[in-house]
């Protein structure tokens, strides 16, 4: 049986006994989410009280046996209602009205039960903070404060006091006794067993952020739109999101990510100052630099501020987007998959719900903006949509997506999304926020396709390569026709994969050494990062305007790899340097090319550096420590090798990967059977104790 009843009316005839299986009372806990929920809840109660309006607390589910009501759902609301009644009725004048509160029993723990019992037996003045007064009562035990439920109830009473402390208690009591109600649903009559009880309790039934938002939205939707909106939301749109569930069998988080995203898109279009979009994004989603994650709770006031005054526009755009997506879901997902978003999901909608990073938010906006602008179009094999999405994908991939340019991204995307022919309307002067080099490259691709210099098929094929990932400026710059383009692309595919240089060409640093063998100027040695990794090679392929590396890379790709590097000539053009440095540089080149040094240090991503004390050395970018310096073309290396060969010494520190041929650091430590020594970069050999030069001791 379901009926509407007040708390006191119910307690006059029944005992409410909250069972131990229920979780602690948490509405009074101190946390950003709970504090905000509590504040809004109490303000809502006060507003209805001040306007003398009825307040219904919705359904309270439970079982009733022998006049003992065991709530299955509604513990949090019942406890808050109990505390509010106790606060208002807490005087000798209300002794009779207050008496039924003794039938409220909190069985979660003995502490909670004892505390509630003592509270209902006590009249307390409200002349200072209520929790302090209660804690000073002779019956209050200090260890109760460690109980989550007790401490939470004390916090709630303090907030009730802040909100209602100046109220007319007689009037407040009358309002509570007559106009604050709830619906009691007895589950006995439905013969629902313990399994449902346990499952609902495990959920805790604290309203999720999405449930709070949905409730707020339902209250604010105009009546003429409410029915249609609710039907769509509770059926077709919810089914859509269930199809993207992450496996936890709960889509509240996904729904909240979706609606907060749609609110951001709404703000982009309707807010007075679009430059505040980054601030609003952080308010809705959080502060992480990549935009990932979700705030655990957002005040309903924020939703009111963002979309309250333009609720009709928000509803219209949201409906248009979701209806169109649902109608064309299969076709849109197929087109997205064809474009290849370099993602395991390869669907902007699903990617957003699974990983709400700022990058995914921008890609999702691209999907949203196109659908809003083309909702009446046929999405089956829509070539303009594929071209548009491919361009956005490339721009996003090579832009360091950040909050500061969020509005620029959206403006640029919206400009492209409005076009019926993205190729004809691609204007580099209008697109902002995204990486300028990539914007220009997209224009070059369009020109190459429209002038038939390179076919669109070959452009797409090269863009989708896991190594190039949309940046193909090297190919465009190097080719005058389809054949040249395709031949060079095939070479890149042959030598590179998503990790950089393929494993088979990393062996003995063969690809890297072949590239070095093509260098004709010393500046080229200083340009390159000595690495096999994808991120460094992508930079080398992108910097086509730098002649230092462009020609050697092109020649290396176009020629067969030389595996016999010992036959490579030592001739090199040093015209731009003084002649007396040539010997050192030639020796340096020989050591890089014809020894295994690169094999040992290539994974450390080194650059070639120089100073007058150390000559040339390899060192990771931004490294500071001396022990990370790999000296090359330095006589010290030959001295150490001779020491090892002729004097039976052992290297203590400074060896590279257990080889006796290459050494790192300014000082190399070694020892023989008598003494410990070290050798510095100036080839001086010293004892570790007195730093006396003992070079003559050894046969070098």
Fill in the DSSP letter of residue 403. G
The token pair at 700 is 């070098």
**333 pLDDT tier (thresholds 50, 70, 90):** very high
3-state secondary structure of 76: helix
Whether residue 27 is predicted with pLDDT greater than 90 in this model: the reply is: no
> How many percent of the chain have pLDDT more than 90?
40
Of residues 697 and 229, more confidence is placed in 229
> Do residues 656 and 601 touch, judged by C-beta distance below 8 A?
yes
Identify the helix (H) or strand (E) that includes residue 525: helix 522-527
pLDDT score, position 205: 45
Whether residue 421 is predicted with pLDDT greater than 90 in this model: the reply is: yes
Facing residues of 669 across strands?
Answer: 653, 678
**514 pLDDT tier (thresholds 50, 70, 90):** very high
**398 pLDDT tier (thresholds 50, 70, 90):** very high
DSSP, residue by residue, 547-614: HHHHHHHHHHHHS---S-GGG-----B-TTS-GGGHHHHHHHHHHHHHSSHHHHHGGG-EEEEEETTT
Whether residue 496 is predicted with pLDDT greater than 90 in this model: the reply is: yes
Burial of residue 264 (CB within 10 Å: 0-12, 13-18, 19+) is: buried
What average pLDDT does range 96-100 have in this prediction? Answer: 85
pLDDT score, position 570: 62
pLDDT score, position 556: 94
Could you report the per-residue pLDDT of 581-630, keeping only the tens digit for each? 567 788 888 889 888 889 888 888 999 988 766 578 898 888 878 788 88
**667 pLDDT tier (thresholds 50, 70, 90):** confident
Quick one: which of 149, 170, 184, 164 has its CA closest to 3? 184
**110 pLDDT tier (thresholds 50, 70, 90):** low
Quick one: which of 640, 620, 646, 652 has its CA closest to 680? 640
Highest mean pLDDT among 60-64, 323-327, 587-591: 323-327
Facing residues of 616 across strands?
Answer: 610, 632
DSSP, residue by residue, 531-566: --BHHHHHHHHH-TT-HHHHHHHHHHHHS---S-GG
Whether residue 199 is predicted with pLDDT greater than 50 in this model: the reply is: no
pLDDT score, position 497: 96
3-state secondary structure of 454: coil
pLDDT score, position 1: 45
> Do residues 366 and 265 touch, judged by C-beta distance below 8 A?
no
What pTM did the predictor assign? 0.71
pLDDT score, position 697: 61
* Structural Rg of the chain based on CA atoms: 37
DSSP, residue by residue, 226-266: HHHHHHHIIIIIHHHHHTT--SSS--HHHHHHHHHHHHHHH
Backbone phi, then psi, for 679, in 5-degree steps?
Answer: -125, 135
Highest mean pLDDT among 90-94, 554-558, 599-603, 659-663: 554-558
Please tell me the least confidently modeled range out of 36-45, 178-187, 264-273, 566-575.
566-575
**580 pLDDT tier (thresholds 50, 70, 90):** low
pLDDT score, position 200: 44
Could you report the per-residue pLDDT of 634-655, keeping only the tens digit for each? 778 888 888 888 888 888 888 8
Any idea what the Cα angle at residue 155 is, between residues 149 and 158, rounded to 5°? 145
pLDDT score, position 192: 47
In Å, how far are 145, 506, 520, 547 from 551, measured between CA atoms? Answer: 75, 21, 10, 6
Distance separating alpha carbons of residues 628 and 631, to the nearest angstrom: 10
In Å, how far are 264, 279, 280, 291 from 285, measured between CA atoms? Answer: 10, 10, 9, 7
pLDDT score, position 462: 97
End-to-end CA distance of the chain: 103
Of residues 580 and 235, more confidence is placed in 235
> Do residues 319 and 229 touch, judged by C-beta distance below 8 A?
yes
Whether residue 412 is predicted with pLDDT greater than 60 in this model: the reply is: yes
Backbone phi, then psi, for 562, in 5-degree steps?
Answer: -90, 115
What average pLDDT does range 154-179 have in this prediction? Answer: 91
3-state secondary structure of 142: helix
Residue 340 Rama label (left phi>0; alpha psi -120 to 50; beta): left
Distance separating alpha carbons of residues 117 and 86, to the nearest angstrom: 12
3-state secondary structure of 195: helix
pLDDT score, position 197: 44
**180 pLDDT tier (thresholds 50, 70, 90):** very high
pLDDT score, position 573: 63
Backbone phi, then psi, for 610, in 5-degree steps?
Answer: -150, 140
What average pLDDT does range 424-446 have in this prediction? Answer: 96
Whether residue 288 is predicted with pLDDT greater than 60 in this model: the reply is: no
Whether residue 305 is predicted with pLDDT greater than 70 in this model: the reply is: yes
Tally of residues, the chain: 700
> Do residues 692 and 660 touch, judged by C-beta distance below 8 A?
no
Of residues 16 and 33, more confidence is placed in 16
Burial of residue 1 (CB within 10 Å: 0-12, 13-18, 19+) is: exposed
What average pLDDT does range 29-50 have in this prediction? Answer: 82
3-state secondary structure of 377: coil
């Amino acid at each position: 049986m379901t009926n509407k009843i007040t708390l006191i009316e119910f307690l006059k005839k029944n005992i409410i006994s909250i069972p131990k299986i229920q979780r602690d009372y948490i509405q009074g806990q101190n946390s950003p989410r709970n504090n905000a929920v509590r504040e809004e809840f109490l303000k809502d109660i006060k507003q209805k009280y001040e306007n003398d309006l009825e307040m219904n607390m919705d359904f309270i589910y439970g079982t009733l046996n022998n006049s003992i009501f065991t709530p299955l759902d509604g513990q949090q609301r019942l406890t808050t209602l109990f505390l509010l009644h106790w606060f208002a009725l807490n005087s000798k004048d209300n002794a009779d009205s207050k008496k039924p509160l003794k039938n409220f029993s909190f069985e979660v723990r003995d502490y909670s039960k004892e505390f509630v019992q003592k509270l209902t037996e006590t009249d307390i003045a409200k002349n200072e903070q209520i929790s302090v007064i209660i804690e000073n009562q002779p019956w209050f035990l200090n260890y109760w404060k460690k109980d989550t439920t007790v401490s939470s109830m004390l916090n709630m009473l303090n907030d009730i006091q802040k909100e209602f402390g100046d109220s007319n208690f007689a009037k407040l009591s009358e309002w509570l006794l007559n106009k604050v109600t709830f619906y009691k649903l007895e589950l006995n009559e439905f013969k629902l067993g313990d399994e449902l009880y346990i499952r609902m309790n495990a959920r805790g039934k604290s309203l999720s952020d999405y449930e709070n938002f949905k409730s707020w939205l339902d209250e604010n939707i105009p009546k003429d739109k409410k029915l249609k909106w609710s039907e769509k939301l509770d059926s077709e749109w919810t089914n859509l999101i269930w199809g993207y569930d992450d496996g936890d069998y709960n889509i509240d988080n996904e729904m909240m990510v979706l609606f907060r995203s749609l609110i951001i898109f709404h703000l982009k279009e309707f807010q007075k100052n679009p430059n505040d979009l980054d601030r609003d994004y952080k308010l809705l989603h959080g502060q992480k630099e990549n935009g990932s994650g979700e705030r655990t709770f957002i005040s309903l006031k924020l939703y009111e501020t963002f979309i309250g005054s333009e609720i009709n526009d928000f509803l219209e755009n949201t409906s248009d987007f979701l209806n169109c997506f649902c109608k064309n879901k299969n076709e849109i997902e197929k087109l997205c998959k064809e474009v290849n978003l370099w993602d395991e999901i390869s669907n902007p909608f699903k990617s957003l719900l699974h990983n709400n990073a700022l990058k995914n938010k921008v890609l999702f906006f691209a999907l949203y903006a196109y659908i809003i602008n083309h909702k009446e179009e046929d999405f089956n094999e829509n070539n303009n949509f594929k071209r548009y999405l491919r361009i956005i994908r490339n721009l996003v991939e090579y832009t360091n997506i950040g909050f500061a340019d969020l509005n620029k991204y959206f403006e640029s995307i919206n400009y492209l999304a409005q076009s019926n022919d993205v190729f004809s309307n691609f204007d580099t002067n209008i697109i902002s926020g995204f990486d300028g080099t990539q914007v220009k490259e997209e224009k070059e691709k369009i020109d190459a396709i429209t002038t038939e210099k390179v076919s669109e098929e070959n452009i797409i094929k090269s863009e989708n390569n896991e190594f190039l990932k949309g940046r193909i400026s090297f190919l465009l710059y190097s080719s005058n026709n389809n054949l040249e383009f395709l031949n060079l692309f095939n070479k890149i595919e042959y030598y590179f994969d998503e990790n950089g240089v393929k494993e088979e060409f990393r062996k003995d640093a063969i690809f890297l050494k072949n590239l070095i063998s093509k260098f004709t100027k010393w500046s080229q040695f200083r340009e390159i990062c000595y690495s096999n990794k994808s991120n460094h090679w992508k930079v080398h392929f992108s910097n086509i305007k730098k002649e230092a590396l462009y020609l050697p890379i092109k020649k290396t790709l176009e020629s067969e790899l030389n595996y016999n590097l010992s036959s490579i000539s030592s001739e090199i053009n040093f015209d731009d340097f003084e002649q007396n440095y040539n010997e050192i540089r030639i020796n340096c080149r020989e050591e890089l090319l014809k020894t295994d040094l690169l094999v040992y240090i290539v994974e450390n991503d080194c650059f070639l550096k120089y100073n007058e004390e150390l000559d040339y050395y390899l060192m990771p970018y931004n490294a500071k420590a001396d022990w990370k310096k790999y000296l090359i073309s330095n006589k010290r290396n030959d001295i150490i090798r001779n020491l090892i060969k002729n004097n039976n010494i052992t290297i203590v520190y400074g060896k590279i990967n257990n080889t006796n041929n290459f050494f790192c650091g300014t000082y190399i430590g070694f020892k023989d059977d008598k003494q410990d020594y070290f050798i510095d970069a100036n080839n001086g050999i010293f004892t570790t104790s007195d730093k006396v030069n003992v070079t003559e001791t050894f046969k070098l």
